[in-house]
Structure 1
């Protein structure tokens, strides 16, 4: 049989590999997160993560064969499945890496568009490069199906060719919710009030929270709850003072935006497996109670929004009515920063595409097709 030089596929880098960049951007590395790199090559990601304070180690059959496999919060098997020529060995590698993950496994592979045919020749189900290394190139969908059939799980796309497989349901819910949560507006306009001015420092954390979440915080969600209780008795009484200076229209607008974000998130969990309410992060549970009264009602409204995105004439009308972007005869072009300004039906329409492919790095213009169900990232 032909001798494959798998050791030549380890690439030396000075910063994070793309899958780790995607994971960091999606906040999968909170403080004190442990990391294990299965097939770590020369260990660049390990060094880079250690330098920002994470406990990190890894194993590689060529470069670090003596390292013991160990469990970690985040496990990465980055660009490994595409260099293993034996299909059973590929499956075995992904299963071993999954067993090591406490919270999330990151799986990535090279994609079809990266093939440079002039120096590759077909071999087994992939190619041999001019350096005698094996490479299998996947489509995004093919990689998703491979992970799904190997682990019997529904992987979440982080970006083209990068998938997250969550073992921690709460972390998965947080990841999905953050993806569709808008950034808060800069500040509320406050009416003048002397009593409020006297207590502004104590009340500021409540105002900051209202700005982010569109509802009153629970006791555990404000850092200075002890001071608030000493001064006002409870958070609700403190809010009655904020109500004297806060414009009702601002308050209603934030509440509307946050509840829309929540409906988009819940609607899209229809594809990835909707969690039970107890598996949602506590803050999201409190959002649901404040905005919808019950989880059942929130899911009902979310499903209605999701199904409306399948009605192309509603999409067409929403594109025509969009407050921003460039409208042409068959599409609406918008900059990604303007996406939050669009109506919930357009946001969930785009969300269906993002739910399939993940974040497309470098793409900042989104083309929303009006006459056929299609979204393009440019």
Structure 2
């Protein structure tokens, strides 16, 4: 008698995805499993067939051979009477792989596995000055963290001893509870998921495998860093579990506010106050840069807000590229605390300038003309 088509047994098309095949098998297995159909040989036979079909179609190599050559392309010993019969297998054993995504994986994956785990990454917030950020520097930081216990090598067990396999979960880290045809896994309450028991804990770390200490580290700050940049120190994070590798330490950079300069990317900005006479007559004044002083030439009739560019006096970016510029914005300062003679001179200057009309104050007269037109439109 010819064997039934595996795809027809599972009720899926020949181009079905692996997920569709698994879902169909799960549905049919729930329906025909002998635990749910006691004293029903027909259901048991049907279960054997769909189990055989799933074993072939869930394996990419076997499925490819079956698609090309049919039943002749797969090992005859894998039939219902061979190694893929259900005899001796419990409901939970059969569904260990199928429901692995729901129950966190079959216990077979955990058997013999190590409880060692990588340590957590740490973050350290570091404030530096603008000068340090632009030029680069090297600073020492003190970081409280957990490190592997030297006495036990991070195992948590007393020197000369070693952890033993948990007898409750047999080293799996999980225990399985079954009620009827439902099986549920949970973390082993004895070993708390590690799969191992420490009978004689290390006295230095009380069996934790880690101790807390403060490390002093030297951090090289590359030139050009800015707020938000991170520097990774590999292996300087928290120690791993049970001798696992340590995590990393990330140094988060924050540049302090500067009393003179404001940074925007590679460019620096600063405000330069100039006197009223200098704004009118022009002149020269010294302005600071991160490299030292430079002379800034102020042309006559300079207005407040004018921007002067000093090329390549900014920041060279940490990720490469040309250095930025220093942008100097002048601000004309109104004289204060004038004496009587100075006030008289200002009045005379004002009378003299008023006689020239818009010739001396083109912006003011242009603005006043615009205001007048605006009011005329409103009928005011």
Give the structure-2-normalised TM-score: 0.20
Q: Between Structure 1 and Structure 2, whose CA radius of gyration is higher?
A: 2
Query: Greater RCO between the two (CA within 8 Å, min separation 6)?
Result: 2
**Structure with the largest fraction of helix:** 1
Give the structure-1-normalised TM-score: 0.21
**Structure with the largest fraction of strand:** 2
